[in-house]
Structure 1
Amino acid sequence: MARQDEVILEMKDVKVHFHLDEGVLKAVDGIDLRIKRGKTLGIVGESGCGKSVTSQALLRIVPKPGEVEGEIMLYRSGKGKEEGIDLIQLDPRGKEVRDIRGGEIAMIFQEPMKAFSPIHTIGNQIMEAILLHATQDKEEAYRLGVEILRKVGMSNPEQRMGEYPHQLSGGMRQRAMIAMALSCNPSILIADEPTTALDVTVQAQVLQLINDLKANNETSVIFITHDLGVIAEMSDDVAVMYLGKVVEYTDVDTLFHGPKHPYTRALLNSIPAIGRETKRLESIEGTVPFPMNLPKGCGFYSRCKQAVDGVCNIADVPLVEAAEGHYVRCLLVKTESTEPEVRA
């Protein structure tokens, strides 16, 4: 269990619900996570599991009619003690959360072409963040913008400052997005599938860049992806999400060598591996259910090959500690305690 002074952000029973005419869409349905200082938490799962909505809740940018409940505590170091602030209690459009957003918590969005404004230059958009959080001197902001572009490996950064997003390649846009996120030295960096649209060579460069910047700046990273290969390389701890809930949480080595939840095992069995017997890779039949008006029981029940009728579909399943530091949401897993809590 992490000591409190190692924790920089803590989520307690966080829910993101969208109240629609058809009913309540539960995109995130009660998750508990702790982010350690200078470490990487990987969040993995299929599309539609609630990973990106979780990151939006952290930044208080969940679109309407979404409502965020629970507690998201950001801990700041200062004056010899920890000062905690609940982000959910802040006005999403207020000055305090705007100072945090981009300043203390920054995000690399999944698709830079959509995240960048197409009618403003890369330099204008990076300078806007710097002027808001670091300095009001435009010449200094320009110099810092060029410096951060050079730091992320952008060729000819002075020229790139005056170019528009459509003039850059996919890898360059992703580097520019990382540069904008890191321009104000955030304490927490959220990377939402930052390498999805990149070829394997550029992907490796971007992942190495994030690791180098984390090591040099002691930045905490929340890495969101559906790629378990990337999770193995990047993460210290891993939370596996399914249908808006965390179904398994542990350190990365334990997850890959001793997964306990059937969903996690199915994900791992779908990964190609050198030396594995030549046969078809395992696939998870079906898709993630639509998170509205769900029946009682385990959310993975309809797709689980080990599901037991009359056991797994009777009541909602709590997240319990199956082993020290290893939390699982499954009634078929033997546990050491029954406390429904995640502790990183």
Structure 2
Amino acid sequence: MTVRAREEFVKPASGREDAVMEVKNLKVHFQLDEGLLKAVDGVDLTIRRGRTLGIVGESGCGKSVTSQALLRIVPASGKVEGEILLYPSDRSKIDGIDIPDGDPVDLVGLDGKGRTIRSIRGGEIAMIFQEPMKAFSPIHTIGDQIMEAILLHKTANRKEAYDIALETLRKVGMSNPEQRMDEYPHQLSGGMRQRAMIAMALSCEPSILIADEPTTALDVTVQAQVLQLINELRDHTGTSVIFITHDLGVIAEMSDEVAVMYLGKVVEYTDVDTLFYGPKHPYTKALLNSIPSVARRDRLESIEGTVPFPMNLPPGCGFYSRCPLAEDGVCNAGDIPLREIARGHRVRCVKAEQV
């Protein structure tokens, strides 16, 4: 790669030594016949080494599209803007680009189909998809699919790749891993398929693991096992985790920091304890009040209305039409910034002090 191209893609370091990735003003827009659909509209995130960032919100808030943007797998009709700054743990893993020590790579500037992003995707950043039955190929064995990633990113020796795949299946608690290597996805139960998906994601020892609602289709006991497994692997390997879910109970179990998304924007960003014991955005508080509890005797609260369609939106807060604190001329007068109200606690609300 030429020096000019390297300067275009590599950004100056921010000085945050614990950051594995910084996302700045990320936007993912889709140009449709009806207008511009803003699926993600100015998201800022920091993923820290060995920690878990939870991203929570209702369906349609932009969580999954955000994760697709981080891997540069947004559909061709989508336009990605902003900065996705990756601080690679092993610069030798990344092809086609010369990275000075300490400098991040801006993934937005890379060709989405080029060899540089393909060496990052799976090598430095891996993903556990929401539905493994759809993510796995139905005509290839589990072993072949895990080995494919290892052969691409770690070794060209098939025997060594087989051994790594087998050992990874053992680490994720797969029963009889030798047999599972030769089986097809439809021969595995839902929990076993999810373990195989986790094994494939972790086989190349990525710096960042994105888990996009990995327990949605599982029963409660298997869900607990998968969550425990991800936590144990994070603690053992030091991998950073981005955990995407709509379940606040899972967020409480998994996360160190939490970003609450609504209508393509982060509306509250803080540590998990502050989020549960001192929420400052009406949407976050409404989500917490809607959590079922055995101890509750009153009627379960709900959030009236639905998430608006992210196209041709009026100015102001996206939660305006559903918010009990909404004030005409204040909350809908213009764009509301994400402001810091306490150290490490940012809120996108002009009435945060009243929540």
Query: In the alignment, is residue 181 of structure 1 matched against residue 201 of structure 2?
Result: yes
Identify the match of residue 304 of structure 1 among 323, 329, 351.
323
What is the letter of the counterpart of residue 148 of structure 2? Answer: E
**What's the offset of the Cα at 1:297?**
1.0
Query: In the alignment, is residue 172 of structure 1 matched against residue 192 of structure 2?
Result: yes
d(CA) in 1 for partners of 2:321 and 2:250? 28
Instruction: List gaps (5 residues or longer) in structure 2.
Output: 1-13, 92-99
d(CA) in 2 for partners of 1:217 and 1:82? 21
SS at match of 2:21: strand
d(CA) in 1 for partners of 2:291 and 2:340? 26
d(CA) in 2 for partners of 1:78 and 1:45? 33
What is the letter of the counterpart of residue 238 of structure 2? Answer: E
Which residue does the alignment assign to 1:290? Answer: 309
**What's the offset of the Cα at 1:322?**
1.4
Query: In the alignment, is residue 64 of structure 1 matched against residue 84 of structure 2?
Result: no
Identify the match of residue 101 of structure 1 among 109, 121, 124.
121
Which residue does the alignment assign to 1:120? Answer: 140
Which residue does the alignment assign to 2:256? Answer: 236
Query: In the alignment, is residue 190 of structure 1 matched against residue 210 of structure 2?
Result: yes
**What's the offset of the Cα at 1:334?**
3.9
Identify the match of residue 295 of structure 2 among 275, 299, 318.
275
Query: In the alignment, is residue 19 of structure 1 matched against residue 31 of structure 2?
Result: yes
Q: Deviations over 1:188-208 (max 9, x none)?
A: 000000001111111111001
What is the letter of the counterpart of residue 53 of structure 1? Answer: V
d(CA) in 2 for partners of 1:174 and 1:304? 37
Percent of residue pairs identical: 76
Query: Between Structure 1 and Structure 2, how many residues are aligned?
Result: 333
Which residue does the alignment assign to 1:246? Answer: 266
Deviates more, 1:158-167 or 1:235-244: 158-167
TM value normalised by structure 1: 0.94
What is the letter of the counterpart of residue 105 of structure 1? Answer: I
**What's the offset of the Cα at 1:311?**
1.2
The alignment yields a C-alpha RMSD, in angstroms, of 1.5
d(CA) in 1 for partners of 2:86 and 2:34? 34
What is the letter of the counterpart of residue 207 of structure 2? Answer: S
Instruction: List gaps (5 residues or longer) in structure 1.
Output: 336-344
d(CA) in 1 for partners of 2:192 and 2:90? 37
Partners of 2:20 and 2:48 within 8 A in 1: yes
Partners of 1:43 and 1:238 within 8 A in 2: yes
TM value normalised by structure 2: 0.91
d(CA) in 2 for partners of 1:257 and 1:122? 43
d(CA) in 1 for partners of 2:300 and 2:337? 30
Identify the match of residue 47 of structure 1 among 55, 59, 80.
59
**What's the offset of the Cα at 1:275?**
2.7
SS at match of 1:4: coil
Kindly tell me: are residues 77 and 174 of structure 1, through their superposed partners in 2, closer, same or farther at Cα, counting changes over 3 Å?
A: closer
Identify the match of residue 332 of structure 2 among 313, 326, 334.
313
SS at match of 1:82: coil
Identify the match of residue 74 of structure 1 among 86, 98, 103.
86
Partners of 1:77 and 1:83 within 8 A in 2: no
d(CA) in 1 for partners of 2:163 and 2:238? 23
After the TM superposition, which segments of 4 or more aligned residues of structure 1 sit over 4 Å from their partners? 77-81
Partners of 1:108 and 1:190 within 8 A in 2: yes
Q: Deviations over 1:210-262 (max 9, x none)?
A: 00100010000000000000000100000000000000000000000000100
d(CA) in 1 for partners of 2:90 and 2:222? 38
Which residue does the alignment assign to 1:35? Answer: 47
Partners of 1:5 and 1:82 within 8 A in 2: no
d(CA) in 2 for partners of 1:234 and 1:333? 26
d(CA) in 2 for partners of 1:25 and 1:76? 32
d(CA) in 1 for partners of 2:312 and 2:90? 45
d(CA) in 2 for partners of 1:243 and 1:136? 44
Deviates more, 1:93-102 or 1:71-80: 71-80
Query: In the alignment, is residue 219 of structure 1 matched against residue 231 of structure 2?
Result: no
Which residue does the alignment assign to 1:137? Answer: 157
Partners of 2:88 and 2:124 within 8 A in 1: no
Which residue does the alignment assign to 1:330? Answer: 349
Partners of 1:42 and 1:225 within 8 A in 2: yes
**What's the offset of the Cα at 1:83?**
2.5
Which residue does the alignment assign to 2:178? Answer: 158
What is the letter of the counterpart of residue 85 of structure 2? Answer: M
SS at match of 2:215: coil
Which residue does the alignment assign to 2:168? Answer: 148
SS at match of 1:194: coil
